[in-house]
Amino acid sequence: MVINVSKKSVYWIALIIIILDQVTKFIARKYFTVTKNTGGAFGILQSQTLFLILVSIAVALYIIYYLNDHHYLELGFLLGGVMGNLIDRLFLGYVTDFINLGFWPSFNIADSFNTTAVILLIWRLRKD
């Protein structure tokens, strides 16, 4: 099942994800042990912060452009996740990861929504 929503809803979803992501990261940095990830997913591209910032901005701008014609729920997930991690990179120089399952690299709320968005987009493309 794929879900289409209004363009306005996509932006609201993204904003809620950004707030949730930033609040949980703030709490994690204050009270728990966190990982300072200077790379991308699974720790690739370590210390390539400027490159990752530029890629994040490009992805966010493309999503905003794509929203002119496609109002997909998962685009809100992806925009919120990308922006949540971009905020960390811009203001901290790294992404705060705090969810550690032991058998998987640590991650955060933004990463969870990014992964969910990609899975849903693949599902949507497979169905179309």
pLDDT in tens, 65-115: 999 999 999 999 999 999 999 999 999 999 999 999 988 889 999 999 999
C-alpha to C-alpha distances, 70 to 50, 64, 66, 125, nearest whole angstrom: 29, 10, 6, 13
Asked whether residue 26 carries a pLDDT value surpassing 70, the answer given is yes
Give pLDDT, residue 1.
Answer: 62
Question: What dihedral do alpha carbons 89, 104, 118, 78 form, nearest 10°?
Answer: -30
In whole numbers, what is the pLDDT of the chain averaged over residues?
93
Q: What is the pTM of this model?
A: 0.93
As a residue count, the chain comes to 128
CB contact set of 74 (below 8 Å; sequence gap of 6+): 116, 117, 120, 121, 124
> Among all residues, which ones are annotated catalytic?
97, 111
Q: Are 60 and 82 in contact (CB under 8 A)?
A: yes
The angle at the Cα of 75, spanning 71 to 79, to the nearest 5 degrees, equals 130
